[in-house]
Amino acid sequence: MTEEHQNTDASGFRMIEVLQSQLFILKVLSIAMACRWKRRSEDGRPDSSMGKRSNGPPSVSSAPESPAGSGHRIPRGRQASSEYLGSLSPWVEPSPLDENCARYILSVMVMFLRQAAPPQQRLMSAANLDFNASYHDLESIESVEVTTSLDIFHTGPAIPPSVGSYYPRAEATRAKLPLFMRNRPLHMPSIRTAATFPQHSVSYERTSSILCSSNLSMNTLIAKFSGRVVYHLSASNWPVVFSRIKGKIHVLASTSEEDLDIMDVRLMTHCWLDRARLVQLLQGASLQLPVVT
């Protein structure tokens, strides 16, 4: 019996090592992309001095000094007019990556998401058969997140309390938001501040060895970090991500094939969406949804 256990262990372990490597690469990639966001300082000008700046391809020109493109005054109180609404988030969207590069990264992320996802998230037929089950794995992500919340690698200055406190603590965040769930303190040693965005964490999150030896946890974490990369991509290269989602919706609308991969549609769950983009998304859906008889 020990030999049997060792045999399965050997082949299973190899698979685990691959998953662990994939996870590591995804973590590094998501941190690198998170660094590209510039923090909006109190007076509205994008402040590029915080955090590390990653070197993008030479074709991308990032001009952190010019306030024209992205600076808005952060309004006090609730009398903000609609055009200032986007400025209440503490970050400025990163400049776009080269389009081919973005498209390639997106394809790779979709591949990872597909690999890590349970069947009911991958295929249209499975999604229809067993819709309720898709909520259970969201809960498993939640439990994984809890154990990885102890983060001892913190760099950079603390968040100014006024920025952090705008967003009230989302106590009731539920499993419906798989990758946005935990409000992790950014740049602060394990003190829970007000709601922040885990996607923007630039500190390396260690994974406990217990989780590292479990296929399920590995897949969950791979999905989580791929989702973060998609989040960053959607902020910097929205047209690329949106055209992929829209393309898949169009394919779903126009084909009568029984079973299709729906991973591309699930991309929208990971995206950074402001009102304009939400409208775009809903518009795209409404155009394609009507049942063709």
Partner 1 sequence: MRRDAQIAIAGPLRTAVWNWIEFHQEEFDDAQQHHRRLEGTPERVFDLLYELVDTSNKAAVWPALTVLMCVSNDRIRSEYDLHSGGIPVAHGRKVGPQ
* Residues found near partner 1 in the complex (CB under 8 A): 78, 80, 82, 85-86, 88-89, 124-125, 127-128, 131-132, 134, 167, 170, 173, 176-178, 180, 197, 249, 252-253, 256, 260, 262, 265-269, 271-275, 278-279, 281-283, 285-286, 288-292
Q: 49 is written with which tokens?
A: 């001095």
Residue closer to partner 1, measured from CB, 22 or 30: 30
Question: Residue 1 Cβ, how far from partner 1 at the closest point, in Å?
Answer: 42
Q: How far is CA 71 from CA 42, 46, 52, 54, 151, in A?
A: 11, 6, 20, 21, 32
Residue closer to partner 1, measured from CB, 54 or 162: 162
Q: 118 is written with which tokens?
A: 């349970």
How far apart are alpha carbons 212 and 20 in whole angstroms? Answer: 7
Question: Residue 268 Cβ, how far from partner 1 at the closest point, in Å?
Answer: 4
Residue closer to partner 1, measured from CB, 77 or 161: 77
> Comparing C-alpha atoms, which of 133, 56, 137, 105 is closest to residue 226?
105
What residues pair up with 123 in beta bridges, in sequence order? 261
Question: Residue 16 Cβ, how far from partner 1 at the closest point, in Å?
Answer: 29
What residues pair up with 141 in beta bridges, in sequence order? none
Question: Residue 290 Cβ, how far from partner 1 at the closest point, in Å?
Answer: 6
CB distance 173 to 161 below 8 Å? no
Residue closer to partner 1, measured from CB, 41 or 89: 89
